[in-house]
Structure 1
Amino acid sequence: MALKRYLVMAAIALLGAPSAASAQDILVAAASSLTNAFTELAIGFQQQHPGTKVLMSFAGSDALAQQVVHGAPIDVFASADSQAMDTAEQAGTIVPESRRDFARNEIVLIVPSDNPQNISGLADLAGGAIGRVAFGNPATVPAGRYTRAALEHAGSWDAVKKNEVLGQNVRQVLSYVARGEVDAGFVFATDAAAMADRVKVVTTLASPSPVLYPIALVERSGRHPQAAEFLSYVNSPAGQQVLQKHGFSAP
């Protein structure tokens, strides 16, 4: 419990307003699904580098990519899929040789913990009693893109889409399900694990392509000199141990 309270307090500190940032701060923009893991990674890095602060900004990957493209003062960008990172790379706003996949995830079907609709698999989502199914908007959210691809692969996309409730990021979808505002939802496995007391995993979707997370340095003048060290820390054995603790696997 003490560690949990520490992480929450650290998260509040790390999510300070951009105006509070200084030249000594490493600014990291990371996908919403990385919130818990990257908060702990930032704490670990700061402990190894006294006097250096890591400020985190968590949001949907596509939204963060647009911030990178438009010159936001970001040093490191961690995305939940390659498409968002490709957007930044094609705009010339990341350092291509620094880009690497650092984690792997899965898409799962979740329901509220009491599962009032007794959903036991994808086939149940086609039933007339199912009214609302949440997932990230495929146009702007990596988890939504992975969900659509997996459902199309399974032949279930049309049945699910007719009851869609679109989220702006995967954590919003998780909240919808946890509060019982929808009958079911699709999120990353790591997000479901973070709220295991309020949601239940029904099944893991077979993805036609691996659910990989890329990270890269942002190409900008004034980038923090230790930004590359933070990126290396994420990929180090210590960093990978933190990611695995939060449910991610090696890419």
Structure 2
Amino acid sequence: MLKKVFLVLLIILAAAGCAQKEQSSNMEEIKPAEKVELLISAAASLTDSLEEIQTAYEKEHNQIKLSFNFGASGTLQQQIEQGAPVDLFLSAGKKQMTALVEKQLIDNNQQMNLLTNELVAVVPADTNIAVSKIEDITKSEVKKIAVGQPETVPVGSYTKDSLTFYKLWDTIQTKTVFAKDVKQVLNYVETGNTEVGFVYKTDALTSQKVKVAFSPDSKSYKPIEYPVGIVKATKHVKEAEEFYKFLQSKAAQDIFIKYGFSLPDK
């Protein structure tokens, strides 16, 4: 009798063990997949538009987390050259993308010109100084002019080209305050630390503390192009390619246009 009871207990315990093992196995099967994090280095002038794109993209792709590193395109280029773990690069200048292609860090077939922009001069919204044309920046009332560092900040390079075209670059050197990126140029003007600053049209549109004083002739500087490319060293090729394609979609383009960017001529 005891043997039969013992045998029944063994059968019950074995069945319970199998059920628990099966339940554990099923739980492993339904365990959600870990999110893939895409690291994207992008020009500072893309901050607002890309943050809105991030919200839209992650809503439709809940297995993807987008992480952005915003800064001056030249600095971001150097970081990629030094081995920073970047999946995609969005530059505010063709020069930086070309350099990475030439160094075989980005495949030429996986990069393209995504957007265009314009150069404008901004002044504080409440300024009393009359600045309506480029020659006005030489006025004695204009004490300081904010300019992106030409060597590393594309907007600074475009500014230098434009002011050189107008033969004003050397003239304003004693007034020039160099900034690390376009957002810092904008901040200098917003806070009244400079009377004038040269930024992209898109940045001017984001601030109520500044107003556009004038727009230099587009012939005075190289076309402002925003190329995007997939970094060869990415460990998430499939996900990087999907986001690269999404940035070219109408959904993304509508957001870029909302923030003042233009699309390149096809």
TM-score band by shorter chain is 0.7 to 0.9
Aligned partners of 1:130, 1:245: CA distance in 2, in Å?
A: 32
In the other structure, the counterpart of 2:213 is: 202
In the other structure, the counterpart of 2:31 is: none
Unaligned runs of 5+ in 2: 1-33
TM-score by length of 1: 0.87
Aligned partners of 1:122, 1:178: CA distance in 2, in Å?
A: 19
Of 143, 149, 161 in structure 2, the residue corresponding to residue 149 of structure 1 is 161
| Preserved CA contact (<8 Å) 1:149 1:207 | no
Q: CA deviation at 1:55?
A: 0.7
1:97 counterpart SS class = strand
Please, what is the CA RMSD of the aligned residues?
A: 1.4
Please identify, of 115-124 and 176-185, the stretch whose mean Cα deviation from structure 2 is larger: 115-124
In the other structure, the counterpart of 1:43 is: 55
In the other structure, the counterpart of 1:15 is: none
1:73 aligns with 2:88: no
In the other structure, the counterpart of 2:112 is: 100
Bigger radius of gyration? 2
| Preserved CA contact (<8 Å) 2:146 2:197 | yes
Aligned partners of 1:98, 1:41: CA distance in 2, in Å?
A: 20
Q: CA deviation at 1:23?
A: 6.7
Aligned partners of 1:155, 1:95: CA distance in 2, in Å?
A: 38
Unaligned runs of 5+ in 1: 1-21
Aligned partners of 1:109, 1:171: CA distance in 2, in Å?
A: 14
| Preserved CA contact (<8 Å) 2:85 2:234 | no
Of 178, 196, 215 in structure 2, the residue corresponding to residue 184 of structure 1 is 196
| Preserved CA contact (<8 Å) 2:35 2:65 | no
1:137 aligns with 2:156: no
Aligned partners of 2:258, 2:78: CA distance in 1, in Å?
A: 30
Please identify, of 239-248 and 150-159, the stretch whose mean Cα deviation from structure 2 is larger: 150-159
Letter of the aligned partner of 1:165 in structure 2? Answer: V
In the other structure, the counterpart of 2:97 is: 85
Matches within 5 A, 1:162-241: 162-195=174-207, 197-208=208-219, 209-220=222-233, 222-241=235-254
| Preserved CA contact (<8 Å) 1:26 1:224 | no
Question: Share of identical aligned residues, percent?
Answer: 33
Q: CA deviation at 1:87?
A: 2.2
Aligned partners of 2:130, 2:84: CA distance in 1, in Å?
A: 45
